[in-house]
C-alpha cells in the first residue's frame, strides 16, 4: 500500500524535473541574448565617444522616424534647387530656427550681390581638403549605428520579459514538484524583475523625470557629449545615464543568472536523491 502511494509522487517529481530541464535551457538562451544585446548597446556608446561613428549623415535621417524619431541638430539648411530654407530641430526651438533662417537669408542675399566671391568661398573644403583632419579609418555610419540600437532595443525588451516569465514558471514548477532551491530561484526572479524595470525606456513615458538603461538612437547620436569645459555635475549625470545605469542592469541579470544556476544545481541533487 505504501509503495503504491510513493509511485505517483515519484512520477510527478520526475515530470517536474523534465520540465525544469526544458525551462533551464530556455532561460540560458534568453540570458545569452540579453547579455549580447547589452554589450552591443554599450559598445555603440563607446564607439560614439571615441569618434568611430560618422555623424555627418545624421541630418539625412530627419524624416526617418524609425531610426531617430526626428532630426539631429537644429540647423537651417538651404535647398539650392528650390531656393527654400528647411529648418530641422529636435527640441522644437522656434526662436532659434527663425534666427538661423534669417541669417541664412542674409547670406543668400550677400552671395547674390557678389557672385564672384561666393564661388570662391563656397568651396573651402576643395581648397584646403588636404589639410583637413581625417577621422579614424574604421568608422560606422550613423544609419548603421541607429539600426543596431533599434534592433538591440527591440530584442532586449522581448528577451528580458521572457526571461523573467521563465523564472516565474520555474518557481511554480519547483513548488509543485518540491524540487528544492526555492530560495535561489525566488531571488533570481526578483533580481531579473529589477533588471527589467531598470531596462525599460521610461524616458518615453516620463520624459525629463526618469530614464531607462536602453536609449533611442536620437538620445545617443543627437545629444552633445559634455566636453572638458563642462561642469563636473553635467559630466557625472551624462555617464550615470549611459554607463552606470547600464552597469547596474547588467549586474542584476548576471546575479539573477548566477542564482538560477544554483537553483538548477539543487534540482539535480534532488534528481540524484530520487534515483
Q: What pLDDT sits at residue 218?
A: 85
Kindly provide the b/e burial profile for residues 139-175, where b requires at least 16 CB atoms within 10 angstroms of the residue's own CB.
beebbebbebbbebbeebbebbebbbebbeebbebbe
Q: What pLDDT sits at residue 7?
A: 56
Would you call 87 helix, strand, or coil by DSSP? strand
Q: What pLDDT sits at residue 204?
A: 86
Q: What pLDDT sits at residue 101?
A: 52
Q: Kindly give, in sequence order, each residue whose CB lies less than 8 Å from that of residue 269, ignoring residues fewer than 6 positions away.
A: 180
Residues of the chain with pLDDT under 70: 1-11, 57-138, 270-275
Q: What pLDDT sits at residue 168?
A: 94
Q: pTM of this prediction?
A: 0.69
Determine the Cα–Cα distance for residues 151 and 68; give it in Å rounded to an integer: 13
Q: Kindly give, in sequence order, each residue whose CB lies less than 8 Å from that of residue 66, ignoring residues fewer than 6 positions away.
A: 150
Q: What pLDDT sits at residue 42?
A: 93
- Phi and psi at residue 85, to the nearest 5°: -105, 125
Residues in the chain: 275
Q: How far is CA 144 from the centre of its chain?
A: 14
Query: Any idea where the domains of the chain sit in the sequence?
Result: 2-54+141-274, 57-117
Q: What pLDDT sits at residue 10?
A: 65
**Residues β-bridged to residue 76:** 87
Q: What pLDDT sits at residue 167?
A: 94
Q: What pLDDT sits at residue 193?
A: 95
C-alpha distances (whole Å) from 79 to each of 85, 98, 104 are: 6, 16, 11
Determine the Cα–Cα distance for residues 119 and 115; give it in Å rounded to an integer: 7
DSSP conformation letters of 102-139: HHHHHHHHHHHH-HHHHHHHT-HHHHTGGGSPP--SS-
Amino acid at each position: 500500500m505504501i509503495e503504491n502511494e510513493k509511485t505517483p509522487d515519484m512520477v510527478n517529481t520526475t515530470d517536474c524535473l523534465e520540465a525544469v530541464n526544458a525551462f533551464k535551457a530556455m532561460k540560458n538562451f534568453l540570458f545569452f541574448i540579453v547579455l549580447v544585446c547589452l554589450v552591443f548597446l554599450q559598445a555603440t556608446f563607446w564607439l560614439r565617444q571615441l569618434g568611430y561613428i560618422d555623424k555627418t549623415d545624421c541630418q539625412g535621417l530627419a524624416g526617418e522616424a524609425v531610426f531617430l524619431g526626428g532630426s539631429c541638430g537644429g540647423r537651417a539648411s538651404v535647398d539650392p534647387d528650390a531656393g527654400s530654407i528647411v529648418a530641422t530641430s529636435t527640441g522644437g526651438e522656434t526662436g532659434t530656427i527663425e534666427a538661423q533662417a534669417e541669417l541664412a537669408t542674409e547670406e543668400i542675399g550677400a552671395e547674390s550681390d557678389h557672385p564672384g566671391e561666393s564661388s570662391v568661398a563656397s568651396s573651402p573644403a576643395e581648397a584646403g581638403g588636404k589639410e583637413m583632419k581625417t577621422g579614424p579609418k574604421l568608422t560606422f555610419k550613423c544609419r548603421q549605428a541607429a539600426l543596431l540600437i533599434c534592433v538591440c532595443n527591440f530584442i532586449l525588451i522581448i528577451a528580458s520579459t521572457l526571461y523573467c516569465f521563465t523564472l516565474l514558471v520555474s518557481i511554480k514548477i519547483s513548488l509543485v514538484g518540491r524540487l528544492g532551491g526555492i530560495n535561489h530561484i525566488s531571488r533570481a526572479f526578483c533580481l531579473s524583475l529589477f533588471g527589467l524595470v531598470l531596462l525599460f525606456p521610461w524616458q518615453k513615458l516620463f520624459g525629463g523625470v526618469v530614464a531607462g538603461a536602453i536609449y533611442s538612437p536620437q538620445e545617443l547620436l543627437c545629444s552633445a557629449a559634455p566636453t572638458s569645459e563642462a561642469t563636473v555635475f553635467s559630466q557625472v549625470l551624462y555617464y550615470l545615464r549611459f554607463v552606470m545605469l547600464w552597469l547596474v542592469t547588467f549586474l542584476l541579470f548576471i546575479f539573477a543568472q548566477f542564482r538560477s544556476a544554483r537553483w538548477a544545481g539543487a534540482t539535480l541533487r534532488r534528481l540524484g536523491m530520487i534515483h
